[in-house]
Copies of this chain bind each other. A is one copy, B any other.
Amino acid sequence: MNLTIQQIADELGISKTTVHRALTGTGRISAQTKQRVLDLAEKLDYTPNSIAQSLRSKRSMTVGLILRGIMVGHYYSEILAGIEEVATNAGYVINIACSSDDSETEATIIQNFCRRQVDGIIIAPVENSFPGNYKLLQQHNIPFVFIDKYIENIPADVVTADSATGVKRAVHYLHTNGRNRIAFLNGFERNSVTIQQRLKGYREQLLADHKDYQLVIESDYFGKEDTLCGYSAMCHALQRLSPGERMDALICVNDSLAFGALKAIREFGLRVPEDIAVIGNNNDSMAEYVYPMLTTLSQPKQDMGRLAMRLLLHHLTDKEDTQYGFYSFPVSLLIRNST
């Protein structure tokens, strides 16, 4: 059994209220009894039961984190690292759960987090997330912030990256460098806001630069691993396209897809960047170690995690504040050897 303040009180022949005062340093108490309590607590290795504290205070000092998949391109690991850092420093613990890109699972997790009285939630929502989820959170008065992806028209902070501008920059850079046949490689995820934004950036810049080659490659591969997905889609595309129809540059919606595409291009006997220039998205920590090193669009993932947690902390402290912001981190083009 675990040690309680009652037991310490009994041991010393005083009341548990006094013990509590000694331990927390609140209220008036004589220096002497205080010391006696502290000594005994130290000796017996007393640790307060935070479940009881939570029940009383109605604060669990826990935040829920809902990611779409733990291994998705390692992308979320870095966000997690940022969140973890800020949360720990503020005394919060993270409950991690994984929606596996499934809206039912996501809903279940949210209900579970409500039962568990998490103080707040950071969520990277699935594409077709139920709006009811967020109503529930509001009813329970649990603040939440969206990270990476978000659902429109829901009052909450959003931390994301300006993907559209990033992709535009990439397209324009390729055009400037004499590439006129730029294709766009999509993964199995197609409807999320960020993906839509990237596609939009691609199309708009094509228009702005007055180019007429446009090719969106969508994978028919139904696994969950982007790298495989990119590999398979690119293999098919290269086989399908005649040399005259073939792209001379490829923008991938994320780096994992790009890694797969790189492999497919190599196996097809084409060279990167000579025959096809490749640009990724997300700056995966591996992008620098593939061959050739991948040019990619980079967003400060760890900073995004940090900010999301800080915003959440703010709303945890100030529950009245119903001001929400849309924080779009700049995306920069990191030029390496694949272009």
Contacts and interface: CB of A to CB of B under 8 A. Distances in A.
A60 to B, nearest CB: 6
Interface string A67-105: 000110010011011001000100001111110000000
A140 interface: yes
Nearest to A135: B45
Contact of A289 (B50, B114, B115, B259): B259
A117 B49 contact: yes
Given A259-B289, A289-B260, A140 B2 contact: yes
A139 B45 CA distance: 10
Nearest to A71: B77
A246 to B, nearest CB: 22
Contact of A291 (B70, B116, B288, B290): B290
Contacts of A98: 81, 84, 88
Interface stretch (A51-59, A174-182, A214-222): A51-59
A240 interface: no
A95 B94 contact: yes
Nearest to A76: B77
Contact of A96 (B74, B94, B285): B94
Interface string A114-135: 1111000000000000000000
A210 interface: no
A105 to B, nearest CB: 9
Contacts of A81: 70-71, 98
Contact of A285 (B71, B94, B288): B71
A112 B136 contact: no
Interface residues of A, number: 49
Nearest to A112: B93
A169 interface: no
A84 to B, nearest CB: 5
A96 B139 CA distance: 27
A263 interface: yes
Contacts of A330: none
A35 interface: no
A142 B84 CA distance: 24
Nearest to A139: B45
A115 B49 CA distance: 5
17 contacts: A2-B140, A45-B139, A47-B114, A47-B115, A47-B140, A48-B115, A49-B55, A51-B55, A51-B117, A55-B55, A71-B78, A71-B81, A94-B95, A95-B95, A95-B96, A227-B289, A291-B291
Which 3 pairs show the lowest CB-CB distances between chains A and B? Answer: A291-B291, A259-B289, A70-B81
Interface of A: 2, 45, 47-52, 54-55, 60, 62, 70-71, 74, 77-78, 80-81, 84, 88, 93-98, 111-112, 114-117, 136, 139-140, 227, 259-260, 262-263, 266, 285-286, 288-292
